[in-house]
Each structure stands twice: as structure tokens, then as C-alpha cells.
Structure 1
Amino acid sequence: MRAWNPPTIPTLPVTAPAVSLHDTSSGRQVTTSPDGPARLYVCGITPYDATHLGHAATYVGFDLLNRAWRNAGHDVTYVQNVTDVDDPLLERATKVNIDWVELAERETELFRQDMQALRVLPPAAYIGAVESIPVVIDLIQVLERAGAVYQVEQDLYFSVTADGAFGEESGFDRDTMLSLFAERGGDPDRAGKRDPLDCVVWRGERPGEPSWPSPWGAGRPGWHIECAAIALTHLGSGIDVQGGGSDLVFPHHEMCAGHAQVARPGTSFAQVYSHAGMVGYDGEKMSKSRGNLVFVSALRNSDIDPMAIRLALLRHHFRSDWEWTDAELFEALDSLAQWRKAAALGTGAPAAPVVEEVLAAVADDLDAPRAVAAIDAWVAATLGVDGLADTSDPDAAVAIIAVADAALGIQL
């Protein structure tokens, strides 16, 4: 599956600091130390509807990590999946009377367009669930040889007790796990399972559903095994960062880790588990099930500059939960206009301290609000908001334009 076209970003004349991130598993902020190219896996969309701002906030957040690593001198191998066959997709296709493949292709293409407009760096490998079926089957066979897979009727399940570290990624107690598993697509009450938390790795064929051949009969992959197989195939074990929204902490990332750690014993699936916060709207988490969505494509089609959308997202720390408002978007439009006005002057307030602060802020757990504030302050000084314009640095605009793009993805 193809990704989207990469933006051209400037190379900075200075090297950014080492990147540190809050690790969900340990509860601490840790410094990343890639050995070779930094390896990043971020869970992708299930393409049964358009990209909403909750999605955008997650992918813009991890785009900051991609940029921060590159600015610190690292190559980056970034992998993302597309869950282009799954229950929600099939249900939506049936409801609106459209072929599920056509629906997946249409919404994936819209996602590509949204990401390109937001200047998100594309993954090196963009892999659909359907095309990953051969490596999923390979991984299930490895788990089967390890005694970690068993059959319930036509389905195969992963035994969570096979992973001695199960539960360490999320840190949740069993009652919380059971509750979240039931809420997020699990089947804790199914008869015949060894443990209520065991998850499907191969779903046997059902009437009217797509299926593919396998050693266990026709069927399709479970959700969690898909990401584990793609990540292991394209990045290996012990990846630098496993990323996604905070709603993926459990069960998705816990199960992915379990699959990978049983398949590759002695190695943690990821060194850091990083999670983006949830974006709300009208008092609730923005989600398709609630119908309270603000779509990136709808804003773009309303002539909203995608850089203003990105700037509005960057005014919130990527790990925070917050609520989208139209007022925030309009403020971002005004701020973007001021940034561009200041940059167009050519000269401005001294840029070197601003560049240093922006790079330091993004390297510090992707603190975009702090970085944005630094550029806001430079703009105010350059435009003389307080009545005293500062144009002492003749090369200021070039430096600010470069760091705004290279570190924050904002094209001025």
C-alpha cells in the first residue's frame, strides 16, 4: 500500500537535543537512544470514515517525534498500518450498501490527502491488514509452536498467560482490563476460552464476510496480531517507540506486546510506549460511535488553511485530553497570519534563542505548546506588539521559517 507524498523540509544548521518521552509502561519520562535508525510504529486507521481531529492530533503528535529524531541527527524508520478489513468497516459498508473494499480504498485515500495537507511525514512502510495476511499467518504459526494459541470452535485465540510480562505495558489491574476488554472489541464472556482476556488471532470464516485461506481454515486476522506481525516484519523486536492514542493502551498495545514477546522471547516489544490524549467535542470524546466528529477534510473544503489546523492542534500537548472549539481554530488562523507577517519582514528579533528553545521544547516529551509560545514571543517582539519593534537580527526570518517547519511542521 502506498503512503502519501513527503513534504520538503529544511535541514537546520544546529543539532537538536536527545529526545525524551513519557513511557506509559514505566510511568516515567525516559530518554530515547536509538541504536541505528530510530524505529517507530504508530497504529493506523480503520478506514470506514473520514479523518477526524482526534486522529489528526495523534498523527501530528507522532510527527513531532519523527521530526525531533531527525533534527537530533537520527535516521528514522517509521511504520504504520491500515486496518482495511475489520468488523466496523464491514458493518459500515453493509449499512451504506457499498463494497467494503471500495469503502476502505476511498477513506484511506482521503486520509492520505489529509496527512499530506497537514505536512505529516509519511511512513517508510504503510501496510494494510489484507496485504499483511501472509506475515500474520507466519506469526500465528510461531505462537502455535510456542503453545500460546488454541482453538475455540472455528476461531484461534492467543493465551495471554503465555507472556510472563502481560499487563506491564498498561499497568492495569485485572478488573480494569476486563472492563476495557469488553468495551473495546473483546469477548471476555465467550464460552470455551481459557482466560476471559484471551484474544482472537484468527477469526474463522462467517457467512457474508471476506476470508482468506490459512492452515486453520478460511478466515481473517484478529486486530492485535495484525499490528504485531507488521511491526516485527518491518522493524523487528525492541523497537524504540510504539505509539497511538491513549484508547489503545489496553487491550490493543498490551496484546500486540504479548504476541511479539512470546514470538521473540527475551526482548520487549518496545522500549517506550507513548500515547496521545483524546480530543473532545461538545463535551464528549470525539468518536465515530458518538457522532461528534470534526473532519479534517471538511475544514479543508471550507477553505481553512491546513497549517492553521495543525497550529491549533500544536497548542495542546500531545498527551493531554482537551476539547476542540471553533474559537481555537479562529485563534490559530489569526496567529498563523501574524507569524507569516513577521516572517515576511526578513529581519526580526534575535532568532538563535528561539531556535534553541523550540528544539529543546519538542525534544522534551514533544512539548509543542512551549515551542509555539517561543515563536509567539518572537513574533510579538518582531512586530512590536508592545510598541517597540525588534529588528536587530537581519537573518531572523530565515531561521524562524526553517525551525517552524523542521520542528513543528508549520510552513510559513
Structure 2
Amino acid sequence: MVEIKLHNTKSRRKEVFEPIDPENVRMYVCGPTVYDRAHIGNARPVIVFDVLFRLLRHVYGADHVTYVRNFTDVDDKINARAAESGRSIGEITAETTQWYLDDMAEVGALEPSHMPRATAYIAQMVTMIEDLIARGHAYAAEGHVLFSVESYKDYGRLSGRAVDDMIAGARVEVAPYKRNPMDFVLWKPSNADVPGWQSPWGRGRPGWHIECSAMSFELLGAEFDIHGGGNDLMFPHHENEIAQSCCAHPEGKFARFWLHNEMLQVEGKKMSKSLGNFFTVRDLLDQGVPGEVIRFVFLSTHYGKPMDWTEKKAREAEATLRKWRSMTDGVEAVEVSPAALEALADDLNTAGVITELHRLAGAGEAGALKATAGLLGLLTDEIGGWATVPAADLSALEAKLAAAREAAMASKDFSEVDHLKSALLAAGVEVRMSKAGVELLPGAGFDAAKLEGL
């Protein structure tokens, strides 16, 4: 049996992973709030935990791994989107849920074993909230139900925060019905304009955190193996999940391993709409960036480190994948490389696996290359259609630009060089000129039609 080691956020160290039940290895990952397209940062945990899912299936067997990833389809952002668009909440969530599934399939993610929607588990949430009140961990006030943070002595352990320090620096809603400013909402009242369900505390809807606790308990039990998500969810979402789950079901320890992926940057900067570097997965796909290329770039950086998305990385990934696909076309996959499996089992060292893939390609071991890449969800038939489109042959234009540059050096008239460069840039081609010569590289938005007549 392959020994898997994972960095456990809870213990802050790498630990040997031993499942509670090897016949049913269980993992829960926080999914999206469905009100819009998934941006590329949303895709990182999907790809990271898809690789872990594949590794667990490889080691324990596909029939012995249960993976749950939820959809949050009741949320104030969804309500706001419905109000501003005039569309129904059900219509919006149905559309955006399908968008998410389509986009994640494009980047090669397998569908989880279960994809529960929060609105299908309202009854279970109400039951859990009632249990928390009965056990003295929650209280009702003015149509709300709140979790009492002081009632759970280990609150803050996951994120390494002390409750007193959190209260001192709290940026939380100050409400007269809260006993403690850190107490968080389990249930809140709904007016006639937003979704609501009948409950012992009146018509209302659940708070965000309770849904994951209720759904994970229903589908995975009081204690399961792995809980994952982005590190932006560590506090307060995951901290609150732990508190309410352990208090409602003290017979279990909730999740034994916690894994968190780091955030994503674009060209060295934090992604934001104000910087103009914010884009969705669908934006990239529509610009001609294959989903497999997105996946490759993401996996080139360890999940525990910040990842920088750049056009250069995307171009290099596309070139590599084209070469590997030409090598493995029609080749039968053989055994996964032991070195690659060892790297992946060492806290998902995907960059180490890619290094081994380069070695296999260099050695001409096509069968092992195909099998090993498949462990990362690369070189699969499901996401390989893009590679059947031939890469652009810009050699003639490279020669033409090189000749124009040589002539310009003699005549000092660079107008033709400037004309060619402008046309190439407008077509989405990066122009590199050096003493070694001219190199043209199609970018993500490459449009060959704009080069006609050059």
C-alpha cells in the first residue's frame, strides 16, 4: 500500500494519512455559491482536490472513496442578483450551477460522488440547530439563532486565533441580540422578498456555516477523513463548521485532516476587477486557452504555495502538452511511474510529478507518460479535443519579419518592421526579437484570420 502524507492544517505538520475505514475513504470540500461564473481562483481548489480524489481512488480503489462537494444555493448574494436582474432565484441557481459543472469539466475535474444543494438539506439544518440549542451551545434571539462561541473551548484552534484577540479586533456585525460579538448566525429571519422556510423560530433561512455541517453529517457521518477548501475559508467558515459539528455530534471528531490551498495571482498581482486582471474560467476558455492548459499551469505549483497565472506559463504548457499528446497518440497506457506516485503521495507534490513527466517524455517512455499523466488528470481523452487543432505555423512570418529587420538595419527605415509587429500584436502574437533571431508566439487570444494578407 502506498503511504500518503498530507499537511494537516489542524496540526500544522505533515502526517501519514490513515483512513478511518479503508473501505470508505471520505472527503468533503466546500463548493461554490452559485450566482455567477466561477473565476479562475475558484478553480484552484477544484483541481487540487480532484487530484487528491484521483490519488485516493488509485490507492484505495474507485469504489472505496466518497467525495462530497456542495453547492450553496441559498445566500444573500444570490438574493441580490435576483433583485437586480428581475430573474427568479431558482432560475439563477440552476443556470449558474450548470455553468460551474460545465467549466469544471473543461478543466478535467471528475464529478464528486455527491454534489448536495443546500436547499435540499434545510430540514437537517433545523434539526442540528435544535440539537445545539438543547445542548446549550446556541440560543434564539429576535428570530435569529446564534452559536455561542464561548461554549466551545477549542474555538480558534484551526486558524490559531484566540477568542479574546478575535473579539478585540472583530469586524463582525454588532447586534443587540448577540451575547458575544463573535457569536455567529445559524438561522435568520426572512421577509417576503427572500427565500424562507418554516422553523421553530419563525420563517427564515440558514446561516452560511451550518449547511456544510449538516450535509457532511448526512453524507459522511459524525467523523470523516478529509475536509478541504481554500485558505480564505479557514476563518471563519471552517472554524465555525468545527465548532457547531463537534458540539452537535460530540461522538465524532468531525474531520481528521484539514487541507487548504493557497490563493492565486495574475501576472504577479492579486486578482481584482479594479486592476483589470479579473477573469473567469469561461473567459479563458473563450479566449482559446484549453482547459487542459489551465489544469497544467495550476498543477505546476504546489497547492500550499501562492500560484501565479501568466500568459507565458500558458503558452509553455500548451507547447508541452502538444508534444506529449503527439508522443502518446494511439499508445496504450502502462504502469504509473513509481517516482511520480511517490511524489504525489508526498502531500500532493504535483510539480514533482510534472518533473517526472518531462523525464519520461525525454526517455521516450510513452506508455508510462500517458499512465502517469492520467494520475494528474492530464492527457486524458475527455479533455484532449483541443490538441487535434494544429498549432499555428508562423515560420513564414518569422522569416519575413527577420528579413524586414535586416533591411531596416541597413536603411534605418523601420516602418515595415513596425507595420508587421503591429499586425502581429493585434492578432494576439507575442513578438520576440534578439540577436539570435525572431520568434513569434501565439498568445491566448490568437486570431489567425487577422494575419491574412501579411
TM class by smaller structure: 0.7 to 0.9
**Equivalent in the alignment of 1:12:** none
- For 1:38 and 1:172, the matched residues in 2 are separated by 30
Q: Is the 8 A contact 1:43 1:80 kept in 2?
A: yes
Alpha-carbon separation, structure 2, partners of 1:26 and 1:93: 42
Cα gap change, 1:172 to 1:149, in 2 (>3 Å): same
1:163 CA displacement: 2.0
Amino acid in structure 2 at the alignment position of 1:404: A
Correspondence for 1:136: 125
* 1:375 and 2:357 are equivalent in the alignment: yes
Q: Distance in 2 between matches of 1:180 and 1:122?
A: 40
Q: 1:313 to 1:197 in 2, by over 3 A?
A: same
Query: Offset at 1:331?
Result: 1.4
Aligned to 2:6: 21
In structure 2, C-alpha distance between the alignment counterparts of 1:346 and 1:157, rounded to whole Å: 59
2:191 maps to 1:206 = yes
Residue 68 of structure 1, CA deviation: 1.0
Instruction: Compute the TM-score of the two structures, normalised by the length of structure 2.
Output: 0.78
* Structure 1 residue identity aligned to 2:105: Q
Question: Which residue does the alignment assign to 1:317?
Answer: 302
Q: Which residue of 2 aligns with 1:66?
A: 53
Q: Percent identity over the alignment?
A: 34
Q: Partner residue of 2:76?
A: 87
Shift of 1:289: 9.2
Cα separation, partners in 2 of 1:210 and 1:401, compared to 1, 3 Å: same
Cα distance in 1 for partners of 2:49, 2:292 equals 17
CA distance in 1, matches of 2:164, 2:275: 25
Larger radius of gyration: 2
* Counterpart Cα distance in 1 of 2:127 and 2:221: 14
Given the alignment, which residue of 248, 262, 276 partners 1:277? 262
Alignment equivalent of 2:136, drawn from 147, 150, 157: 147
Q: Is the 8 A contact 2:37 2:100 kept in 1?
A: yes
**Which residue of 101, 104, 109 corresponds with 1:115?**
104
Whole-Å separation in 2 of the counterparts to 1:137 and 1:112: 28
Distance in 1 separating the partners of 2:303 and 2:27 = 16
| Corresponding residue of 2:338 | 356
Deviation at residue 175 of structure 1 after TM alignment: 6.4
Shift of 1:87: 1.2
Matches within 5 A, 1:220-369: 220-281=205-266, 284-286=269-271, 292-344=277-329, 346=331, 355-369=337-351
Take 2:274 and 2:35, find their aligned partners in 1: how far apart are those partners?
Answer: 12
Normalised TM-score (structure 1): 0.85
Whether 2:70 is the aligned partner of 1:45: answer no
1:365 aligned partner, one-letter code:
D
Confirm whether residue 398 of structure 1 aligns to residue 387 of structure 2.
no
User: Is the 2:68–2:114 Cα contact (8 Å) retained in structure 1?
Assistant: yes
Query: Which amino acid is 2:351 matched to?
Result: P
Residue deviations 1:222-253, cap 9 Å, x none?
A: 10000000001100122111100000000000
| Residue identity in the other structure for 1:401 | K
Structure 1 pair 181–134 and aligned structure 2 pair: CA distance change class (3 A): farther
Structure 2 residue matching 1:208: 3-state secondary structure? coil
Residues in 2 aligned to 1:62 and 1:180: alpha-carbon distance in whole angstroms: 33
Residue 392 of structure 1 aligns with which residue? none
Q: Could you tell me how far 1:209 is from its partner in structure 2?
A: 1.4
What secondary structure is seen at the aligned counterpart in 2 of 1:212? Answer: coil
Question: In 2 relative to 1, CA 303–379 (structure 1 residues): closer, same or farther, beyond 3 Å?
Answer: same
Partners of 2:222 and 2:251 within 8 A in 1: no
**Worse-superposed segment, 113-122 or 244-253:** 113-122
SS in 1 for 2:90: helix
- After superposition, give the CA deviation of every residue in 1:200-229 in whole Å (9 maximum; x if it has no partner): 000111342111111111000110000000
Q: Which runs of 5+ in 1 are unaligned?
A: 1-14, 383-395
Contact 1:177–1:250 (Cα < 8 Å) also in 2: no
**In structure 2, do the counterparts of structure 1 residues 289 and 174 end up closer, same or farther at CA, with 3 Å as the change threshold?**
farther
Aligned equivalents of 2:317 and 2:376: distance in 1?
Answer: 18
Q: Kindly indicate whether the alpha-carbon contact (under 8 Å) linking 2:197 and 2:204 is maintained by their aligned counterparts in 1.
A: yes
Task: Classify the secondary structure of the residue corresponding to 2:159.
Answer: coil
CA displacement 1:101-130 (0-9 Å, x = unmatched) = 211111110110012222212121111111
Aligned pair count reads: 377
Q: Deviations over 1:117-171 (max 9, x none)?
A: 2221212111111111011111111111111111231211011222222112221
Is the 8 Å Cα contact of residues 190 and 203 (structure 2) preserved in structure 1? yes
1:315 CA drift (Å): 0.6
2-side partners of 1:248 and 1:31: how far apart? Answer: 24
Shift of 1:96: 3.2
Distance change (3 Å), C-alpha of 1:409 and 1:345 = closer
Task: Calculate the aligned-residue CA RMSD, in Å.
Answer: 2.4
Q: Distance in 1 between matches of 2:274 and 2:224?
A: 32
Q: Which has the higher contact order (CA 8 A, sep 6+)?
A: 1
Change (3 A) 1:144 1:364: same
Alpha carbons 1:368, 1:408 under 8 Å: kept = no
Gaps of 5+ in 2: 385-454
Q: Which range is displaced more, 169-178 or 355-364?
A: 169-178
Q: Which amino acid aligns with 2:91?
A: E
Relative to structure 1, the CA distance from residue 410 to residue 243 in structure 2 (aligned partners, 3 Å threshold; closer, same or farther) is farther
The aligned amino acid for 2:257 is V
Q: Residue type of the partner of 1:128?
A: R
1:180–1:250 contact (8 Å) kept in structure 2? no
Q: Give the Cα separation in 2 of the matches to 1:290 and 1:145.
A: 49
Please tell me whether the aligned partners of residues 10 and 258 of structure 2 are also in contact (alpha carbons under 8 angstroms): yes
